[in-house]
Amino acid sequence: MRRIVYISAALMFIFSVSTAWAKSGPDWIGGSSKKYPEPRYFIGLGSTPLDKGGKGQQMEWAGDSARAEIAKTIRSEVKVTTRSERAVGGASGAKSTQTDVVTATAKQVLDGVEIKEYYKDKKDRILYALAVLDRYEASKNLEKRAQRIKQDLASEVDAAGDARDKGRQLSVISHYDRALAMAGEITQIEELLSILKPGGAYSLMEAPYHESTLREAIRRTREQIRFTVAIEGPAAKVRGYVINGLNRAGYVTTAAGEKTYELKGVTDVTYKGSIDMGKDMIMQIYQADLDLAIFDPASGEEVSTLTWSASANAKSEAMAEKSAVRALGEYVERTIAEKMGNLL
């Protein structure tokens, strides 16, 4: 009987200690919070040892750790959402989205994360931090941002129409390219809203402003444009790279068309010096340049100029010069479509 009393007393003591310890720590240590309940809030729990750094550093480290937990939640949800969309849409209709990282838009959402509480576990020597994201407030801010972007997007589409009426087809593409970038950002906002406001997919865009519609408008406009390409100078071989870059982007560089532009390029190749690599190895350095002027034959207007430069080195001057011309050509081929898209 006495043994039973001792055991009961011991159990009651252990229970009272564990209850007191549980009450001494906040509920969010366990991963949920009555003060910041789901689904209104995302919460993140971060921690750092009390044995490293000063108090300010510890608070910063624990806070960063807590914010990172919310970022992981959003990153994970974006991936799941996108995989689902692609499974439904099929490979040919897959949406172009960034899912491997928290995008710039998602990072703006994370700016709304606040560190609400800290808790110091003196027994285990750990500082805990609670990060909180108000999903309702974050959604409101995203929707406001989307509306501002939509207004700018509509302005770019209108400007593309005005440029088309004036026969400035390259400007048409530039305005559509800008609109396409804005449509992509709104697509990201839609994905984030579907996470922050569960209950269904969100569509903030009207059909004329969809990414697919804008891409088709760019494709059709490029097909209407024709280029004649004339390159002179010691790096004249870059002409082939210019044509390849334009063709890959959907432009046509043969025959007459609805709108023709003349591309006239001047090249140069210059010796830039040498590098002593040691062990009797001297590398010769050459630079190749292209200045490309774009003319509208109908008006006689010079629309714009584009420039490129590239360098290369080799053991002999002849090989270095040849390599510089090749590097220039590859650079032009990769970037000419993008540069064309920035002409207004």
CATH 3.30.160.180 domain position(s) in the chain: 222-340
**In this structure, are residues 66 and 130 in contact, taking their beta carbons and an 8 Å threshold?**
yes
* Domain range 26-136, its CATH number among 3.90.700.10, 3.30.1360.120, 1.10.260.40, 3.10.129.140: 3.10.129.140
Please tell me which residue, 270 or 252, carries the higher pLDDT value.
270
236 pLDDT exceeds 50? yes
Q: Which range, of 35-39, 179-183, 248-252, averages the lowest pLDDT?
A: 248-252
Residues 58 and 47: their CA atoms lie apart, in Å, by: 9
Classified by CATH at the fold level, domain 222-340 comes out as: Double Stranded RNA Binding Domain (3.30.160)
255 pLDDT exceeds 70? no
| Amino acid letter, 305 | T
Please tell me which residue, 194 or 214, carries the higher pLDDT value.
214
Burial (CB count <10 Å: 0-12, 13-18, 19+), residue 165 = exposed
Q: Return left, alpha or beta for 224; rule: phi > 0 is left, psi -120 to 50 is alpha, else beta.
A: alpha
Instruction: Decide: pTM greater than 0.85.
Output: no
Please tell me which residue, 326 or 83, carries the higher pLDDT value.
326
Burial (CB count <10 Å: 0-12, 13-18, 19+), residue 207 = exposed
pLDDT digits (tens, 9 = 90+) for 56-67: 999 999 999 999
Burial (CB count <10 Å: 0-12, 13-18, 19+), residue 245 = buried
Please tell me which residue, 220 or 94, carries the higher pLDDT value.
220
102 pLDDT exceeds 80? no
CATH 3.10.129.140 domain position(s) in the chain: 26-136
Stated as kind and residue range, the H or E segment containing 290 is: strand 281-296
Average of per-residue pLDDT across 111-124: 92
pLDDT digits (tens, 9 = 90+) for 142-153: 889 889 999 999
Question: Per the structure block, which two tokens stand in for 105?
Answer: 């838009």
pLDDT band, very low/low/confident/very high, at 269 (cuts 50, 70, 90): very high
256 pLDDT exceeds 70? no
Question: Per the structure block, which two tokens stand in for 323?
Answer: 């390599």
